[in-house]
Structure 1
Amino acid sequence: MSDSAPTTQDERVLPEHPPVTDWLHDFDHTDPRWTDNPFPIWDDIRSASPVVHTKRFQGCYLPTSYEAVKQIAHDTEHFSSRRVVVRDERPEVQRNAAPPITSDPPEHKPAKQLLLPPFTPDAMKRLEPRVRAICNELIDEFIADGGCDAAARYTKHIPVRAICHMLGIPEKDGDLFVRWIHMILELGIKNEVMLKQAVGEMTEYFAGHIEARKQRPTDDLISTLMNAKDKSGQPLEDSHVLGSLRLLLIAGIDTTWSAIGASLWHLAKTPADRERLVKEPRLMPAAVEELLRAYSPVTMAREVMKETTIAGCPMKPGNMVLLSFPAANRDPAVFPDADKVMIDRQNNPHAAFGLGIHRCVGSNLARMEMTVALEEWLKRIPDFRLDPAGRVAWSEGTVRGPRQLPILFG
């Protein structure tokens, strides 16, 4: 856009943020230092105060203690989920944006209950063989090369192809979904044009699938939602179905792709843990939970609706809250040696899947995909390491995971 091009408040691209010089009073979750390594930042903030505030993003609080995060996550009276990403602009709240994650009580519960049946443990057992096949199909493509960018060649494709399988949409469309996710969760924080474009394209894409199923019903998750009834016994509005599909696509891909990638990154740079998992595969369930705790990918947001006080900090309506489950999972008051990754950690009440009524619907899917992705990789590539000639790049924004992960093996 040229300097002379007309802009509106909705369309302007906001200027880059100045670097942070005082994390306690002026934090910014898009600062490159936060993106690269947020853990020491959280530790420093937490040791000073369980909740801090910045004037950036039109006013935003950051709780870093487990207890403060838990209290906010459970308080639906003072905190709304109608906005779940902290960004520079606050566009008008859209009805049925992404139910149930953007829903508040009383609409939240019936919207969530609609999505529970496709994600039960039994449903995941039926899906697991396909996910194992996907992992091996991907490994087949690069195992002879002696190395790969594991983010580009492996981690991002597993949840993309699995959710496509569940929704009954072509796996070949996966690149589209990855592009939309990047535009919404990363670029869209500072660029309203990108955000609206991605949401519009995604809505148009799914509207086409809904229309096709009205003519010819199918046995997949899109048809399941179309056949669902609301709490009054009426079919869901198309906008509700579209919102839930947007949620499943975004939440079902980026989060798990990030968690699998962070796990492979840890194992590539920690030979003792990698070798132990190869020798003791029974440790995998505990290891998955610990990797979820240590490298939790998802930070959500809440909007302050009524004045309240959390951990001694007054919170004012109109501000946002960066609800950092990853920071809560590094709180030494709850997790002994919180900064150490212990793949046999036993007592592990982590919040990687959230806390309160919005706890992740897809947690069974994420755990299964993570477990299968690591098991199949370790079976076929037990010895691997980070490529010293390459660079690991992490995503910016509220979902954190490696977007470039150069690995050598063989």
Structure 2
Amino acid sequence: MAGDDRFTDGVASITQGRPLGTRNEPVTGPVADWATDFSHLEPEWAADPYPIQDDLRERCPVARTGRFGGAWLPTRYEDVAEIAYDTERFTSRSVVLSNYRPAREVEPVGVTPPISSDPPFHHHARKLLLPAFTKTAISRLEPATRAYCHELADALTGQDVVDAARDYAQHIPMRVIADMLGFPAEDGPKFREFVENTLEGVNLPPEERIARMDSLFAYLIAQIDDHIANPRDDLTTYLLNVELGGNRLAPSHVAGTMALLLIAGIDTTWSAIGASLWHLAKTPADRERLAAEPALLPTAMEEFLRAYAPVTMARMVKQDMHWRGVDMKAEDWILLSFPAANRDPAQFERADEVVIDREVNRHAAFGLGIHRCAGSHLARMEMRVALEVWMERFPSFTLDDPDAVTWSAGQVRGPRTLPLRIG
């Protein structure tokens, strides 16, 4: 691959050439009525969105806000599912709601294919990734993942109080994704910065947001350059060599997919592991039962995914239309709250309870429709191994200070500070 002329212009070929979209002024501040002025960035949403979602589902199942230039929030499972499966009326060209809309010129590929891609391109872009995320391929990663979880636990042993989000949960997907992509394991702090910039910095002025994204893509280009000079058996080299329609992938496609894997592959699993530990720390009966019945963990894990689903995705309305009693305009955002769908009592019995032996659990934590998470086997493996190792090493743990737990704001929600007493 030496001298791959697709990348001779470096980062400029990807970042400086991106078409700008329409702009909206940053809008933050207290919400007066969540039905007409919702914001997923507000502190009360990050702290506990479920009562808000339950209220909206009862009195206004499709909420509206003028923030971010206009957006909608369905809270019923059937509404979320209908939009997720409807690729004719809703586009995926941007799945992170912000104060900035990408231009239509990025269709059908989007900025981070395949999750930002529309059919028919989406099918082919997604198919390229599937071999790396089969159950068999993921099973080969389990021994190293388990060894790393024990390494993290070793560093915590002997302490009375530890931050399970900062010192355990976040590091596991960082290491796994770094290994898959062939990135330096010591770059973990950079990965966290990229995650926070992308998913929690959505209300920054567009120029600053673009500058931060440029930093991410500059890092990716450096990794690509290194892989061109030193090919090896990893996902980055695979993306550089694989063909789509008889041609190798465009630089924007390679870097965009790498960005997706790096950002989504870290934050979602970090959040799911942390939320599971938070639940077990505050619910002694469930923790004690899992300690006594470790075979129940896979079932309990699915319930944690349902009850604390970390991911909310976005779509954009293609054309003006009347939908489920509301008038949507072209370019309106829609937040697909899989967490709200997962707590819809019309879909799940005892929807507001965490039932760790729930047998029928067709949750939407990994999304619905064509964009259902291609990395679900990876996420489940990381989550299971992380919880198995934690329960083995620290079978008795509690929240040290419930009020000290903090949660990320934005479209991926999980604990960012999680002080647990293990000693």
Q: Please, what TM-score do these two structures have when normalized by structure 2?
A: 0.91
1:262 aligns with 2:306: no
- Encode CA deviations 1:74-127: one digit per residue, 9 max, x unaligned: 000100000111112324354651000000011100000011110100011100
**In the alignment, which residue of structure 2 is the partner of 1:408?**
421
1:255-404 matches, within 5 Å, as 255-388=268-401, 391-404=404-417
Percent identity of the aligned residues? 53
- Encode CA deviations 1:259-306: one digit per residue, 9 max, x unaligned: 100000000000000011111111111111100000000000000002
Give 3-state SS (helix, strand or coil) of 2:420's partner.
Answer: strand
Shift, 1:52, TM fit:
1.6
> Does the aligned pair in 1 maintain the 2:26–2:68 contact within 8 Å?
no
4+ residue runs over 4 A deviation: 12-16, 93-96
Shift, 1:194, TM fit:
4.0
Give 3-state SS (helix, strand or coil) of 1:189's partner.
Answer: coil
> Does the aligned pair in 2 maintain the 1:189–1:397 contact within 8 Å?
no
Determine the C-alpha separation between the residues in 2 that align with 1:159 and 1:308.
40
Q: AA paired with 1:65?
A: R
65, 79, 104: which one aligns with 1:68? 79
Q: AA paired with 2:59?
A: A
Q: AA paired with 1:295?
A: Y
> Does the aligned pair in 1 maintain the 2:26–2:203 contact within 8 Å?
no
Shift, 1:47, TM fit:
0.3
1:77-156 matches, within 5 Å, as 77-92=88-103, 94=106, 96-156=110-170
Q: AA paired with 1:45?
A: L
Residues 67 and 146 (structure 1), Cα distance of their counterparts in 2 relative to 1, 3 Å cut = same
**In the alignment, which residue of structure 2 is the partner of 1:6?**
none
Shift, 1:18, TM fit:
2.5
Mean Cα displacement is larger for which, 89-98 or 374-383? 89-98
1:172-321 matches, within 5 Å, as 172-230=186-244, 232-321=245-334
Aligned Cα RMSD in Å? Answer: 1.8
- Encode CA deviations 1:128-179: one digit per residue, 9 max, x unaligned: 0111011111111111112211111000000000101111111100100101
**Gapped runs of 5+ residues in structure 1?**
1-8
> Does the aligned pair in 2 maintain the 1:14–1:190 contact within 8 Å?
no
1:33 aligns with 2:44: yes
**In the alignment, which residue of structure 1 is the partner of 2:7?**
none
**Gapped runs of 5+ residues in structure 2?**
1-19
> Does the aligned pair in 2 maintain the 1:78–1:307 contact within 8 Å?
no
Shift, 1:227, TM fit:
1.2
Aligned residue-pair number: 401
Determine the C-alpha separation between the residues in 1 that align with 2:25 and 2:320.
29
> Does the aligned pair in 2 maintain the 1:277–1:283 contact within 8 Å?
yes
Determine the C-alpha separation between the residues in 1 that align with 2:208 and 2:166.
22
Determine the C-alpha separation between the residues in 2 that align with 1:389 and 1:351.
28
Shift, 1:313, TM fit:
2.8
Residues 303 and 20 (structure 1), Cα distance of their counterparts in 2 relative to 1, 3 Å cut = same
Shift, 1:212, TM fit:
2.2
Q: Please, what TM-score do these two structures have when normalized by structure 1?
A: 0.94
Determine the C-alpha separation between the residues in 1 that align with 2:208 and 2:47.
23
Determine the C-alpha separation between the residues in 1 that align with 2:357 and 2:323.
33
> Does the aligned pair in 2 maintain the 1:256–1:370 contact within 8 Å?
yes
Shift, 1:193, TM fit:
3.9
Shift, 1:56, TM fit:
1.2
Give 3-state SS (helix, strand or coil) of 1:226's partner.
Answer: helix
Residues 30 and 351 (structure 1), Cα distance of their counterparts in 2 relative to 1, 3 Å cut = same
